[in-house]
Amino acid sequence: MIYSLKFVDQFSTTSLINKNKPEGFTQANWSSAYCNVEEECKNVKLKLIKGSIPQNLNGVLYRNGPGRLERNEHWVHHPFDGDGMIVSITFNNGDVSLSNRFVRTKEWEEEEKEGKFLYRGVFGTKKTGSKLSNAFDIRLKNIANTNVIKLGDELLALWEAAGPHALDPITLETKGLSNLNGALKDKEAFSAHPRFDPGHHQESRMVTFSVSTGPKSTIRLMEFATQGANVGDLLCDRKDSFNGFAFLHDFAITPNWAIFLQNAIEFNPLPFLLGQKGAAQCLKSKQNGQAKFWLIPRDPGRFSKQPSKIFNAPNGFVFHHLNAFEAENKVIIESIFYQDFPSIGPEEDFRKIDFNKLPEGILKRCTIDLLTNKISEEVLSNQCCEFAMVNPKLQGKDAKYSWMAIAEKLTGNGPLQAIKKINLLNKDSCRWSAAPRGFVGEPIMIPIKNSNIEDDGWVLTLIWNSETKKTELVILKANDLSHQATLEIPIIIPYGLHGSWVNSDSRY
Ligand code: CO
Confidence (pTM): 0.92
- What's the gap in Å between 473 CA and the centre of ligand 1? 21
Angle (nearest 5°) at CA 212 between 388 and 179: 80
- What's the gap in Å between 55 CA and the centre of ligand 1? 31
The more confident residue out of 455 and 282 is: 455
- What's the gap in Å between 10 CA and the centre of ligand 1? 30
* Residue 274, pLDDT above cutoff 90: no
Phi, psi of 7, deg, nearest 5 = -75, -10
Omega within 30 of 0 (cis) for the link into 490:
no
- What's the gap in Å between 229 CA and the centre of ligand 1? 30
Q: For a pLDDT cut of 70, what percent of the chain falls above it?
A: 89
Determine whether 339 is exposed, middle or buried from the number of CB atoms within 10 Å of its CB (0-12, 13-18, 19+): middle
Whole-number average pLDDT of the chain: 90
* Residue 157, pLDDT above cutoff 80: yes
Looking at residue 131, its pLDDT comes to 64
- What's the gap in Å between 442 CA and the centre of ligand 1? 10
- What's the gap in Å between 327 CA and the centre of ligand 1? 26
> Within the chain, how many helices (H) and strands (E) appear?
5, 35
pLDDT per residue over 343-396, tens digit each? Answer: 666 667 888 888 988 899 999 999 999 999 999 999 999 999 999 999 999 999
* Residue 163, pLDDT above cutoff 60: yes
- What's the gap in Å between 196 CA and the centre of ligand 1? 15
Looking at residue 9, its pLDDT comes to 30
- What's the gap in Å between 12 CA and the centre of ligand 1? 31
* pLDDT confidence bin for 337, thresholds 50/70/90: very high
- What's the gap in Å between 147 CA and the centre of ligand 1? 8
- What's the gap in Å between 159 CA and the centre of ligand 1? 10
* Residue 191, pLDDT above cutoff 60: yes
Domain ranges of the chain: 204-381
Lowest-confidence range among 245-254, 273-282, 412-421?
A: 273-282
- What's the gap in Å between 280 CA and the centre of ligand 1? 14
Contacts of 56 (CB under 8 A, 6+ apart): 448
* pLDDT confidence bin for 264, thresholds 50/70/90: confident
- What's the gap in Å between 63 CA and the centre of ligand 1? 12
- What's the gap in Å between 133 CA and the centre of ligand 1? 31
- What's the gap in Å between 50 CA and the centre of ligand 1? 31
* pLDDT confidence bin for 506, thresholds 50/70/90: low
- What's the gap in Å between 298 CA and the centre of ligand 1? 22
- What's the gap in Å between 191 CA and the centre of ligand 1? 10
* pLDDT confidence bin for 13, thresholds 50/70/90: very low
* Residue 338, pLDDT above cutoff 50: yes
pLDDT per residue over 130-150, tens digit each? Answer: 666 666 666 678 999 999 999
- What's the gap in Å between 234 CA and the centre of ligand 1? 23
- What's the gap in Å between 131 CA and the centre of ligand 1? 31
* Residue 271, pLDDT above cutoff 80: no
- What's the gap in Å between 319 CA and the centre of ligand 1? 7
Instruction: Report d(CA 108, CA 116) in Å as an integer.
Output: 10
Question: Residue-wise over 87-121: b if at least 16 C-beta within 10 A, else e?
Answer: bbbbbeeeebbbbbbbbbbebbeebeeeeebbbbb
* pLDDT confidence bin for 272, thresholds 50/70/90: low
| DSSP secondary structure string for all residues of 120-174 | --TTSPPPSS-HHHHTT--PPP----SEEEEETTEEEEE-TTSPPEEE-TTT--E
- What's the gap in Å between 249 CA and the centre of ligand 1? 6
* Residue 21, pLDDT above cutoff 70: no
Looking at residue 105, its pLDDT comes to 96
- What's the gap in Å between 51 CA and the centre of ligand 1? 31
pLDDT per residue over 430-452, tens digit each? Answer: 999 999 999 999 999 999 988 99
* Residue 341, pLDDT above cutoff 80: no
Q: For a pLDDT cut of 90, what percent of the chain falls above it?
A: 75
Instruction: Report d(CA 153, CA 274) in Å as an integer.
Output: 43
- What's the gap in Å between 498 CA and the centre of ligand 1? 6
Q: Which of 507, 505, 496 is nearest to 463 (CA)?
A: 496
- What's the gap in Å between 146 CA and the centre of ligand 1? 7
